Amino acid sequence: MKIPLKEFEQNIDEAILQRGYQYFKKGLVNEPEETGHGEYEAIVEGTNQYTVQLSIKNDVITEYVCSCPYDMGPVCKHVVAVIFHLQQNELNLKVRAKKNKGEVKKIKKKKTVAEQVDELLEKLSHDNLKDYIKERCVKDSTFRQLFIANFAYLVIPESQALYAKQIHAILRTSADRNGFIGYSEARFAGNAVYDLVQRAEKLVEMSNYQTAMYMACAVLEEMTEALQYADDSNGDIGGCIDPAVEVLSAIADKPVTEELRKEFFNYCITSFKKEIFKGWDWHFSMLDLATSLIKNSEEAQQIHSLLDNIKPSDTDWDWDFRRAQRIRLELISKMEGDEKAAQFLEQNIANSDFRKKTIETALSRKDYNKVIALAEEGIRLDDEKKPGLANDWRDYLLKVYINQNDTDNIIKYSRYLFLNANREKKPYYFLMKKFVPPENWDNFMKLIITDIINKNRWIDYSFIAQIYIWEESWDKLFDIVKKNASLDRLDSYEKYLMKDYAEEITDLYQSAILNYMVNNMGRNYYQNACRYLRKMIKMGAREKANFVIEQLKVLYPKRKALMEELQKI
């Protein structure tokens, strides 16, 4: 995951955050080295020494890797410790000095690793460098595999197999003795292979399409296979695949030679036939690419034949068949023209993607009768098993009635979607506000609230509260909050109520914090309660906060962690 540097505390598990903070506070993070622009590396001490690498771009941590074995979540305490170190000035934090002698000297900024390497390479002779590489290749099998894989193209004819060998070497280096790639190792492997994808992207820009194609195809095949024997919880292995498909898509749109076009087309057809990527999204991407590459009816027929083998199933959402129909539509449009494609759409209107496409075309042409007929048919077909899709059809009806200025139907469908559609409610609210006569509005909204209360067994108070906020009915909003005064609810709505109900809100906070502590134990909960106590103090309710603090000390004197957190307020 990507972590905003200035908001990292909101994006990391509280327990891991605390452990990392303690490592930082104890001075266990060695001064990070800037290995390149926005690239940092640091050693974190502890039971063992671990290396943390961070990539930062536009104040966002885009990549992070630690050599520790932690695999219970996306971020370990060592990564967090380094983030605290980098942000210590922003957060006004102090690290415990390892020695107390004298003043700490200001450390001169070190050269980046790239700068250090460049300097050494300038001074090393060609023969010395050759001797060093030979020696390393003999003694270190990992170095040997990566070195040969990266530079084999200089002596071996270029092919997909060449780059597959390079990727295979990276994956083998990352795997354990049983051939499995663990969570941390998957990051290393993913980053290394992604470098190859980026090289392919640059080659496309340089019009070296053949090499880029070989690289992308090798990535697709090797990384798809690697998903079977790697812990890809963080998406580092699979994260190389979509960019590789994008490289192939870019090549398919370029003016490649006829020889390369045929080679590319045959690869797409063969990989689909052999089901190399069966079960993955990019299995059908091969036919999408092949469709982009076709130049004659014979090639088109090859794709049609493959699509003919994909039959509809009895499932509600037949993804493979729907995808096959979309590819066939593109194929017909490209080889036979728009008229034939339109006929194919009409003949397969049961495909919801085709229904939407046909409705949108009719809407753009102001053929409202056709839109209404198709949308109403869609509602009849989908209302029971696919209510979300049925509401898409209702949305199209609403668009028609807005264009026709049909007030009754605008109110009817905006009201229905407001109450029943699982989507943004605000546009429907303001449509109703616009078209319901002002003299009827209050009663109209009372009926809306009644419907919400009666609709489900559990009343959706947050929905009702949002209506009161739009209505600026602060007294009604306060009644909702007062009846269900949890800390979360108070936190959500206090900004609307403090002006008129400041005293009452702080009273509710007082009770809510005490109730919260009855059922919750553990430092995380204590820290949360203390956060709300600080909020009360900022509201000017210091005395009430002090009362709660004293009550907690009396009620829970044996909760040591709670006493420690209260002491910090």
433 and 493 belong to one structural domain: no
Four-CA torsion 351, 353, 357, 363, nearest 10 degrees: 90
Residue 106 has pLDDT above 60, yes or no: no
Non-local (6+) Cβ contacts of 60 within 8 A are: 2, 3, 4, 5
Determine the average pLDDT of the residues in 103-132: 73
- Six-digit token pair at 30? 């060695």
pLDDT at 478: 95
* Alpha helix positions (H), 316-406: 319-336, 338-347, 352-364, 368-382, 387-403
Residue 60 has pLDDT above 70, yes or no: yes
470 vs 316: which has the higher pLDDT: 470
> Do you know the residue count of the chain?
569
If one counts the domains in the chain, the total is: 4
Lowest mean pLDDT across 367-376, 404-413, 457-466 = 457-466
Cβ pair 397, 415 in contact under 8 A: no
Q: Which of 261, 271, 322, 343 is nearest to 296 (CA)?
A: 261
Confidence of residue 118 (pLDDT cuts 50, 70, 90): confident
Count each helix (H run) and each strand (E run) in the chain, helices first.
Answer: 27, 5
* Alpha helix positions (H), 206-275: 209-226, 241-252, 258-273
Q: Which of 484, 479, 548 is nearest to 513 (CA)?
A: 548
Distance of alpha carbon 472 from alpha carbon 57, whole angstroms: 42
What tens digit of pLDDT does each residue of 207-220 get? 999 999 999 999 99
Is residue 558 assigned to a domain? yes
Is residue 187 assigned to a domain? yes
Determine the average pLDDT of the residues in 164-184: 89
Amino acid at 453: I
Is residue 215 assigned to a domain? yes
Residue 65 has pLDDT above 80, yes or no: yes
505 and 536 belong to one structural domain: yes
Q: What is the SS3 string spanning 478-539?
A: HHHHHHCCCHHHHHHHHHHHHHHHHHHHHHHHHHHHHHHHHHCCCHHHHHHHHHHHHHHHHC
Domain region containing 27 = 3-97+110-118
Is residue 416 assigned to a domain? yes
502 and 432 belong to one structural domain: no
Q: Which of 479, 450, 452 is nearest to 463 (CA)?
A: 452
pLDDT at 380: 96
What tens digit of pLDDT does each residue of 183-207 get? 888 988 998 899 889 989 999 999 9
What tens digit of pLDDT does each residue of 492-526 get? 999 999 999 999 999 999 999 999 998 888 888 99
Indicate the residue among 89, 118, 147 that finishes a domain: 118
Q: What are phi and psi of 181, to 5 degrees?
A: -100, 115
365 and 438 belong to one structural domain: yes
Distance of alpha carbon 119 from alpha carbon 300, whole angstroms: 57
188 and 228 belong to one structural domain: yes
Which of left, alpha, beta for 436 (phi over 0: left; psi -120 to 50: alpha)? beta
Q: What single DSSP character describes residue 277? A: T
Amino acid at 456: N
- Six-digit token pair at 426? 């605000």
Residue 108 has pLDDT above 50, yes or no: no
Residue 341 has pLDDT above 90, yes or no: yes
pLDDT at 450: 94
Is residue 314 assigned to a domain? no
153 and 244 belong to one structural domain: yes
Neighbours of 402 (CB within 10 A): 16
Indicate the residue among 256, 271, 287 that finishes a domain: 256
Cβ pair 417, 394 in contact under 8 A: yes
392 and 356 belong to one structural domain: yes
Confidence of residue 112 (pLDDT cuts 50, 70, 90): low
Indicate the residue among 256, 279, 309 that finishes a domain: 256
Cβ pair 382, 391 in contact under 8 A: no
Non-local (6+) Cβ contacts of 543 within 8 A are: none
Amino acid at 295: K
Confidence of residue 472 (pLDDT cuts 50, 70, 90): very high
Distance of alpha carbon 532 from alpha carbon 513, whole angstroms: 8
pLDDT at 100: 43
Query: What's the mean pLDDT when you consider all of the chain?
Result: 89
Output the DSSP codes for 71-109: -SSS--HHHHHHHHHHTHHHHT--PPPS--SSPPPPPPP
pLDDT at 101: 38
pLDDT at 188: 86
Share of residues in the chain with pLDDT > 90 (%): 60
154 and 114 belong to one structural domain: no
SS3 55: strand
Distance of alpha carbon 200 from alpha carbon 250, whole angstroms: 11
pTM of structure: 0.65
Distance of alpha carbon 223 from alpha carbon 236, whole angstroms: 10
114 and 145 belong to one structural domain: no
173 vs 448: which has the higher pLDDT: 448
pLDDT at 412: 97
Angle at 500 between CA 497 and CA 501, to 5 degrees: 65
Is residue 458 assigned to a domain? no
143 and 243 belong to one structural domain: yes
Distance between first and last Cα of the chain:
33
What tens digit of pLDDT does each residue of 405-462 get? 999 999 999 999 999 999 999 999 999 999 999 999 999 999 999 999 988 778 888 9
Residue 291 has pLDDT above 70, yes or no: yes
SS3 435: helix
Is residue 459 assigned to a domain? no
Q: What are phi and psi of 443, to 5 degrees?
A: -70, -35
What tens digit of pLDDT does each residue of 519-560 get? 888 888 999 999 999 999 988 899 999 999 999 999 998 888
493 and 547 belong to one structural domain: yes
Lowest mean pLDDT across 89-98, 222-231, 452-461 = 89-98
Is residue 423 assigned to a domain? yes
Confidence of residue 145 (pLDDT cuts 50, 70, 90): low
Share of residues in the chain with pLDDT > 70 (%): 95
158 and 249 belong to one structural domain: yes
